[in-house]
Amino acid sequence: MALKSSPVLFGWLTRLSRRNFSTSKALAAKPVAVRDALNQAIDEEMEKDEKVFIMGEEVALYDGAYKVTRGLWKKYGDKRVIDTPITEAGFAGIAVGAAFAGLKPICEFMTFNFSMQAIDHVINSAAKTFYMSAGKVPVPVVFRGPNGAAAGVAAQHSQCFAAWYSHCPGLKVLMPYSSEDAKGLMKAAIRDPDPVVVLENEMLYGVPFPMSDEALSPDFVLPIGKAKIERPGDHITVVCAGKAIDTALEAATTLAGNHGIECEIINLRSIRPLDFQAIARSISKTHHLITVEQGWPQSGIGAEICARVMESSAFFELDAPAWRVTGADVPMPYATTLEAHALPRAQDVVAAATAVLGNKISAASSQ
């Protein structure tokens, strides 16, 4: 699917230029699309560990609905790259069962919208079994696929599951943004002994990000549960993950240019476990906080972060209440203009940051 907006490109350019200033290695490095980084990660882990296999709809002969598994069926054959019928509850259950028995399945959902057909196996079978069995039955399964809003596919096909899955103890939930994130987190997910949900984003699949030599090596893996400072800054902490980082980066450039406001953008990478220390550290420097996510506001990721601030000494560091920038609290409409208004835009992040920094909170409606 075609990319809809320039923020994607914009975010990439920002990063590219920053990297060019700091390291010469990255300058030489070839940009790699997120899709290819994921492919690399799966390929390398399949090569390394015979127990790893991938199953899902259209992953083999068709090379994946979004071409993430391109070439893998040719390389590994029917035994390890398996096309399933359209039966999410069934094949997710099979993946979890295979993990019970010691294999390391990667279960692809064509999109996470369809994982709702199988959510019982993700939560009741995968997340809880290690605990219920008092540690006798580990469940090293990976559930992955594109998550969140794409473009022009309306309500049933456009929602973010970060809050849904990160609600559940027993699951680890990752949300890569860049190609480095994608590769490092996917490899970590496959190697991890627990069930891991990897929430990718269709709009980012085709976006090229420069990858360092280190990230290109087969040994590269990122730690689960550690956030990354995507852009350092002194004035306000902006916590986000996945596609929302593009929005935040674009806003940060505007804020720096027009208002002299420097945002510190935290790329969570991992939604569960959540790297609250990184957030708290940043707040103690900036004393201001906003969160940005595409999901709905109620009981969302931003809500969780704000609650943790309230429960900790980070609260005393804040000079103003924190604000959440989220998807609007409506099902996703199909019409182009409405769709654009349903998702957080850079201007919303700018508005939120200036409101929080200007302490204009009371002027806004209380919610």
Ligand X SMILES: Cc1ncc(C[n+]2csc(CCOP(=O)(O)OP(=O)(O)O)c2C)c(N)n1
> Is 317 a residue of the active site?
no
For ligand X, give the closer residue by CB, 110 or 150.
Answer: 110
Residue nearest to ligand X (CB): 114
- Cβ(165)–Cβ(204) under 8 Å? no
CB 205 within 8 A of CB 34: yes
Does 1 bind ligand X (CB under 6 A)? Our answer is no
Contact call for residue 307 and other proteins (CB under 8 A): no
DSSP-assigned beta bridge partners for residue 197: 143, 173
Neighbours of 86 (CB within 10 A): 11
Q: Is 88 a catalytic residue?
A: yes
For residue 275, what is the enclosing H or E element?
Answer: none
Task: Give the footprint of ligand X on residues 332-351 (CB under 6 A).
Answer: none
How far is residue 116's CA from residue 89's CA, in Å, rounded to a whole number? 9
Among 110, 174, 241, 352, binds ligand X (CB under 6 A): 110
Binding mask 309-348 for other proteins (x = CB under 8 A): --------------xxxxxxxxx-xxxxxx--xxxxx--x
Positions in 19-78 near ligand X (CB under 6 A): 57
Q: Beta strand 196-200 with 172-174: parallel, antiparallel or unpaired?
A: parallel
Give the interface segment with ligand X, choosing from 109-117, 203-211, 259-267, 276-284 (CB under 6 A).
Answer: 109-117
| Residue 273: C-alpha distances to residues 50, 162, 299, 340 (Å) | 28, 12, 16, 30
Nearest residue to 231 via CA among 178, 183, 300, 179: 178
Size of the site for other proteins (CB under 8 A): 55
Tell me how far the alpha carbon of residue 348 is from its chain's centroid: 20
Question: Does the protein bind ligand X through residue 114 (CB under 6 A)?
Answer: yes
- Tokens describing residue 24: 């010469």
What is the nearest approach in angstroms of ligand X to the Cβ of residue 241? 25
* Residue nearer to ligand X on the CB measure, 84 or 178: 84
Which is it for strands 31-33 and 81-83: parallel, antiparallel or unpaired?
A: unpaired
From 44, 45, 88, 108, the catalytic residue:
88
Which token pair is 342?
């349903």
Binding-site ranges for ligand X (CB under 6 A): 57, 86, 88, 110, 114, 117
Binding-site ranges for other proteins (CB under 8 A): 1, 57-58, 61-63, 65, 83, 85-87, 89-90, 113-114, 116-117, 152-157, 297-298, 323-331, 333-338, 341-345, 348, 351-352, 355, 361, 363-367
